[in-house]
Amino acid sequence: MTESTLQTAPVSVPTNHPTESTTPTDGPLSFDELGLAFRNRGMPLEAMASDTTPVGLHYLVIHWDIPTADGEAWRVAVEGAVGRRASLSLDDIRARPRRTIPVTMECAGNGRAMLHPRPVSVPWLTEAIGTAEWTGTSLWPILDEAAVGADAVEVVFHGADRGIQGGEEQAYARSLTIDEIRRPEVILAYEMNGRPLEPQHGYPVRLIVPGWYGMTSVKWLTSIEVTTSPFRGYQQAASYLYQQHEDDPGEPVTRQRVRALMIPPGIPDFLTRHRYVDAGPVRLRGRAWSGVAAVVRVEVAVDGEWSDATLEAPGGEFAWRGWSFNWQASRGPHELACRATDAAGRVQPLDPPWNHQGMGVNHVQRVSVTVR
């Protein structure tokens, strides 16, 4: 590249700057964001055709580097405020009662790049989503055997990966309250879709917390630490907050907000991904989920007119629910949209709910289509 093309490129020139700037911007996408987008890939929306997302199509989030892991030598420590500490090998974990759960996992930052201004991080549009069959063993019996102290309040899950974020060097760690991890569906998972975890998904063992946004499901798990005071690590206390501005103490991000997505119909243009559909009956399909309560309604709007879609049988308490809608497509430009409602009465907003970190951005998806 010559110097002049660099100056007019639609992305800013890489500067080799040592730390990130996360101030929300309406500026062009930066090389930093481009790099994050390649490392943290999304699920192509057409993968919603199947109940279970193939491993290679499931979205990924890796804050730093994928650790090199030796499954034979791996140990998960059970430590802190417990009566009996333990050090579990992969075989120890595999020997325990086995449980397979279909779980829809979504990154809390999904939708972030649609905000104005946009928080600078992984620039997700709508694709930070996937549903896998996770196999593992319930966590609570392990803690019960370790004799959790009466003064215990939280459990911190530590990952093997290390890096710097917010100017702070750290290993990835997140906590949950004791009540939250008593749920039997909170598992230590060692298989995804019937195969050992792949390196990028947390090999050899990770936590899976159905219903919560993905940051909770700590990968490359090395330690389960019972604490007697709330954990204040970076990924808990500084990141994953709904904040209105940088100094806002905010509210912690927890469970997945209700959301529906559709498989964009017809065929796409290569560059813009604008859709082309033939006139006549078109069966729109998609998926909907909520980490709070079951999805009870999905609606589709054609040019702003909302009608109910047909719901398929739920695929499990923690998996997305299929839906379809028969659209009689007439020639011309159209805008399609979809939105879900859950049994807790939550419904998706029409416009993006802005917040400083770009968390839980679950407004309705809009797809423009040309019918020919």
133 near ligand MTE, judged by CB under 6 A: no
C-alpha pair distances (Å), 215 with each of 62, 240, 254: 10, 8, 9
Q: Which residue has the tokens 């006139």?
A: 279
To Mo ion, the closest distance from the beta carbon of 214 in angstroms equals: 4
Q: Per-residue contact track with ligand MTE, 3 to 32, x per CB under 6 A?
A: ------------------------------
Q: How far apart are CA 155 and CA 81, in angstroms?
A: 9
To ligand MTE, the closest distance from the beta carbon of 107 in angstroms equals: 4
Q: What is the dihedral of CA 337, 343, 345, 349, to 10 degrees?
A: -20
Q: Give how many residues touch Mo ion by CB under 5 A.
A: 4
Determine how β-strand 75-80 pairs with β-strand 221-227.
parallel
Q: What is the DSSP string of 194-228?
A: TEEPPGGGTTT-EEE-TTB-GGGS-SSEEEEEEES
214 near ligand MTE, judged by CB under 6 A: yes
217 near ligand MTE, judged by CB under 6 A: yes
Binding partner of residue 259 among Mo ion, ligand MTE, none, CB cut-off 5 to 8 Å per kind: none
62 near ligand MTE, judged by CB under 6 A: yes
To Mo ion, the closest distance from the beta carbon of 109 in angstroms equals: 6
Q: Which of 113, 176, 215, 260 is the binder for ligand MTE (CB under 6 A)?
A: 215
Q: Taking CB under 6 A as the criterion, which residues in 92-121 touch ligand MTE?
A: 105, 107
Of all helices (H) and strands (E), which one includes residue 92?
helix 90-94
Range in contact with ligand MTE (rule: CB under 6 A) among 216-224, 287-295, 298-306, 322-330: 216-224
Q: Per-residue contact track with ligand MTE, 137 to 156, x per CB under 6 A?
A: --------------------
Q: Taking CB under 5 A as the criterion, which residues in 161-220 touch Mo ion?
A: 214-215
- Of 186, 195, 215, 192, which is closest to residue 131 (Cα–Cα)? 192
Using the CB atoms, write b or e for 136-153: b if 16+ within 10 Å: bbbbbebbeebebeeebb
HSE of 141, CA atoms in CB hemisphere, 13 A: 11
Q: Taking CB under 6 A as the criterion, which residues in 219-238 touch ligand MTE?
A: 219-220
What residues contact 152, with CB distance under 8 A and at least 6 apart?
A: 80, 81, 82, 178, 226, 227, 228
Q: Taking CB under 6 A as the criterion, which residues in 42-61 touch ligand MTE?
A: 58-61
Query: Would you tell me which residues interact with Mo ion (CB under 5 A)?
Result: 61, 107, 214-215
Residues near ligand MTE, by CB under 6 A = 58-63, 105, 107, 159, 161, 172, 201, 214-215, 217-220
